[in-house]
Amino acid sequence: MNFAERENVPSARTLVFVVEDDLDISRLIEHNLHSAGYEVATFASGAQVVGAALQERPALFLLDVMLPGTSGFDLCREIRRTARLARVPVIFLTAKTGEADRIHGFDLGGDDYVTKPFSPRELLARVRTILRRQQESPTMDVIQFGDLEIDVSSMTVRIEGKTVLTTVREFRLLEYLANHRGRVFTRDQLLDAVWKDTAYVTPRSIDVYVRRLREKIERDPRHPQFLRTLRGIGYRFEAPRETPPQASRDQVSRDQ
């Protein structure tokens, strides 16, 4: 079987949307995905993609960035804003190799970034990895702690009933920590869990994302109740609880 071990063949019908305007590349991708056991729908532009996905939800989008009309970046943005499709993984396919382009793609919600020319073997390995992670991710639709509500299906955050705007990476970091509340994660562990193999993000970038999230969801970002810091170790998510009146400021600040 071409490029896929038999044990890696999808056990159930797995539909992949390929959005690529170069016919030769599109056919190459379609052939190799079919050979690996996937079903494929191909599109030469982004015009009909979201509508078709709402009719039959794919397991994965493969998006060329340089598309006629709507770009792959714009299409990804539309996918992430569509509640029923917001959780579907996206892999970008592009000849654009600049760091700024990769960062932009990940910030829009891309899960991976494959540059052209690429090996079909590598592409299939990326597809299998992304789909496996998707299957292993928590399935809870709404996570709620007090006034904080994290709606996984629509990728929205509400605090005291008001929607808070977050980037995709901020949302995924918050979702991951909330799904593992009480557990302490180092910065490297959070990078592995949320950013995967993204090379441009450093462990200290986690501090920036946590600070931004605190400004959006905490009543007092300087004394957070949800996103707590363990100095010299990392971060953990805590369900809020009342701080006893007699607790000293020193006791509180040691755990922030």
Q: Which residue has the tokens 């794919």?
A: 58
Sheet holding 185-186, edge to edge: 185-186, 234-237, 227-230
pLDDT on residue 37:
93
Q: Is the pLDDT assigned to residue 246 strictly greater than 50? A: no
Quick one: what percent of the chain has pLDDT higher than 90? 41
Domain 142-240, what fold?
A: Arc Repressor Mutant, subunit A (1.10.10)
| Tokens read off for 89 | 């993984």
Domain at 6-136: CATH architecture: 3-Layer(aba) Sandwich (3.40)
pLDDT on residue 6:
41
C-alpha angle 12-93-96 in degrees, rounded to nearest 5: 165
The pTM for the full model equals 0.59
The domain locations on the chain are 6-136, 142-240
The pLDDT confidence band at residue 136, using thresholds 50, 70 and 90, is low
What stretches of the chain show up as alpha helix (H) in DSSP?
23-35, 49-55, 72-81, 99-107, 120-136, 168-179, 187-190, 205-217, 249-253
The pLDDT confidence band at residue 197, using thresholds 50, 70 and 90, is low
Q: Is the pLDDT assigned to residue 244 strictly greater than 70? A: no
As a whole number, mean pLDDT of residues 123-144 equals 78
As a whole number, mean pLDDT of residues 204-213 equals 90
